Structure 1
Amino acid sequence: MTNPTTSKRALSRRTLLTGAGAALGALGGVTGARALGTGQTAGPAAAATPTQPSTAPAGFASFAWLGTSGWRIRTPTTTVLLDPYVTRFGTGLAAGKFSATTRLRVDPAALDAALGSPGTQEGAVDSILVTHTHWDHFADVPHLARTRGATVFTTLTGYHLALAMGVPQKQLAVVRGGEEMHLGDLVMRVVPALHSRTASGALLFPGMRTTVPTRPRTIADLPEGDTLSYLLRSPQGRSVLLLGGSDYDDQALRGLRVDTVALPVPSTDVTADYAGRLLVALDGPGRVVLVHWDDFESPLINPPLASAGTRDRMTRLTEQIRRLSPGTEVVVPEYRTPLQLL
């Protein structure tokens, strides 16, 4: 795996700006992973293989993808979750029969299997970072906070929703963007972000909660409530930017030193120059890890499932990143497989 602290960034802002509008050529593969073409889906013979260390991670922090935009990050002293969504119940989305009235539910057994049981060393969680409060990012957070005693960093909307879902106030920390604070042996910077849009430019379940609502019962009761991203730094100065939705404020990203970015794969083309603007703002990060491309209504079983259309988008996004920033490594993760990102 390319070391993001030593790899040479092979582009400048001018190079990126010149290349950002270029047409995509032939489909290219993911560095360290097998690219999938149109019509292929995940399966034993067609699964993307993530770039992985040849031995167990020996760096400062181990990152394990939990599907969608979720992560478990472990350092020598600290365990942090970002957008952990493990229950993964059906909403009719995959079948083209999406229902906004789908009831929320939590599967404690699935959470314990993926993250370890409460009260054990394996299941300990110090902090939970929330990028936004849609169900596929937030639905499991209140249960995890109540059972693990973790502090939840979230928006004002997330604060009110969490209170309504039984999380003690003392475990909730409201952040807005710009904060920089210690999380055990990590340093966290909260970065303002944006949520992706539908093909028409609309936002799914928009809105905020400025007071404590009645307890949410359906997925529509969990609005977006603003979106954040989180930059984590190790004591050695390496950094990872974790995005939760497939859009961002490139002005908020300028000047950040980022070795790795976890980048959601967009489901539409409504966001202009999605890869190009990001690479310009971050001066070509050493590594991009593609997230939020899996079928998040299926269990956390490898290889992750994704539609043929999504696989095609992943391949085209990878090709664009490699054209605009040849020195950037693109990684396709598998569930709960350790990656050395710090």
Structure 2
Amino acid sequence: MTTPTSKRALSRRTLMTGAGTAALGVLGGVTGARALTDRAAASPAAHALAAPTTQEAPAGFASFAWLGTSGWRVRTPTTTVLLDPYVTRFDTGLAAGRFSATTRLSVDAAALDAALGAPGTPEGAVDSILVTHTHWDHFADVPHLARTRGATVFTTLTGYHLALAMGVPREQLAVVRGGEEMHLGDLVVRVVPALHSRTASGALLFPGLHTTVPAKPRTIADLPEGDTLSYLLRSPQGRSVLLLGGSDYDDQALRGLRVDTVALPVPSTDVTTDYAGRLLTALDHPGQIVLVHWDDFESPLTNPPLAAESTEVRMVGLIEEIRRLSPRTEVVVPEYRTPLQLL
């Protein structure tokens, strides 16, 4: 848990951890803010910021824009895909140390339209929505987006039943469980089994499944995890991006996948053993890692993102571990809605 005074703004920076790189831009310094910690300041990672980014779309097959938490908008020449889009970002009391499981669900349609474009416009068109799991910070906005954009939702059986309860037409829902490989427009998407992160005690937040349609969810506790998936996206040229939604994974399910880039959530506890090492080994040291799910997801989706100081320290430690274990892997810390060329 964090308090409002323990959050700081982070600017986007790219972390080049390849051998021979002279300067590493890592969480190290926002104008007017103190150094992260003595440990972070002493790290070789705490040096120069990268040059400011622009909103111009990068060249390449697909443009990826981070939507906060684990969310993404992916645009190709023919297709727009969302993963875990959560833009409403309502207050659960988490940042203030007063987390309430009975927080009412709500949707900020204006914020969604501002971030993604209005329904019925080319900017706001969505073809498919991929759901890793059904906690509120991954799923709460999905039913509204599906209803207003006509997108097909790929989700677990639990997500299927929750979406029906929240008014999504049955014909817009597709249940996946891991192992499927599908064409979504000009993308190839492989569904990969995954795991959800755990609390410091090893427990799961809001565990549970729905095998039938429940009553319409009213609170965040009414959206259980319902199993967790990840998604591997491939371009016609063969490049691939693995998008994780929670800070755990099944390394056996990852072995043999050819992955160029991984969107990797920053863990909030040390419960998962050798978090960076097992991932790097299973994926044979991917060329790029993009860190996600480190931001304060109860603050507006405006740059620079806010993060708890404890999370910043964890990020520094994770980056140092990746650098130590895989010196040629590039680490990227994104900003909201800033296009990245990942495919």
CA offsets 1:283-333 (integer angstroms, 9 cap, x no match):
000000000000000000100000111001011100000110000000000
Query: TM-score, normalising length from structure 1?
Result: 0.87
Q: Distance in 2 between matches of 1:212 and 1:49?
A: 48
Residue aligning to 2:36: 38
% identical equivalent positions: 83
Q: State whether residues 115 and 122 of structure 1, in contact with CA within 8 Å, keep that contact through their aligned partners in structure 2.
A: yes
Q: Distance in 2 between matches of 1:30 and 1:152?
A: 42
Give the superposition deviation at 1:56. Answer: 3.7
Give the number of the structure with larger relative contact order, counting CA–CA contacts within 8 Å between residues 6 or more apart: 1
- Any gaps of 5 or more consecutive residues in structure 1? 1-6, 11-27, 41-45
Is residue 269 from structure 1 mapped to residue 267 from structure 2 by the alignment? no
- 1:35 maps to a residue whose letter is G
Residue aligning to 2:180: 179
**Which structure 1 residue ranges, 4+ long, deviate > 4 Å from structure 2?**
28-34, 46-55
What is the aligned-residue RMSD (CA, Å)? Answer: 2.4
Query: TM-score, normalising length from structure 2?
Result: 0.87
- 1:292 maps to a residue whose letter is H
Q: State whether residues 57 and 63 of structure 2, in contact with CA within 8 Å, keep that contact through their aligned partners in structure 1.
A: no
Matched ranges for 1:85-234 at <5 A: 85-234=86-235
Is residue 301 from structure 1 mapped to residue 302 from structure 2 by the alignment? yes
CA offsets 1:42-94 (integer angstroms, 9 cap, x no match):
xxxx9975896896411000000000000000000000000000000000001
CA offsets 1:102-148 (integer angstroms, 9 cap, x no match):
00000000000000000000000000000000000000000000000
Q: State whether residues 52 and 339 of structure 1, in contact with CA within 8 Å, keep that contact through their aligned partners in structure 2.
A: no
Residue aligning to 2:336: 335
Q: Distance in 1 between matches of 2:267 and 2:168?
A: 32
- 1:303 maps to a residue whose letter is P
SS at 2:306 equivalent = coil
SS at 2:110 equivalent = helix
Q: State whether residues 30 and 331 of structure 1, in contact with CA within 8 Å, keep that contact through their aligned partners in structure 2.
A: no
Matched ranges for 1:43-62 at <5 A: 56-62=57-63
Q: State whether residues 180 and 189 of structure 1, in contact with CA within 8 Å, keep that contact through their aligned partners in structure 2.
A: yes
In structure 2, relative to structure 1, the CA distance for the partners of 1:29 and 1:154 (3 Å cut) is farther
Q: Distance in 2 between matches of 1:222 and 1:30?
A: 43
Q: State whether residues 75 and 81 of structure 2, in contact with CA within 8 Å, keep that contact through their aligned partners in structure 1.
A: yes
In structure 2, relative to structure 1, the CA distance for the partners of 1:198 and 1:47 (3 Å cut) is farther
Q: Distance in 2 between matches of 1:30 and 1:304?
A: 23
Give the superposition deviation at 1:34. Answer: 4.6
CA offsets 1:8-39 (integer angstroms, 9 cap, x no match):
x99xxxxxxxxxxxxxxxxx999555535535
Deviates more, 1:258-267 or 1:31-40: 31-40
Q: Distance in 2 between matches of 1:60 and 1:159?
A: 31
Q: Distance in 2 between matches of 1:64 and 1:163?
A: 28
SS at 1:247 equivalent = coil
Q: State whether residues 51 and 331 of structure 1, in contact with CA within 8 Å, keep that contact through their aligned partners in structure 2.
A: no
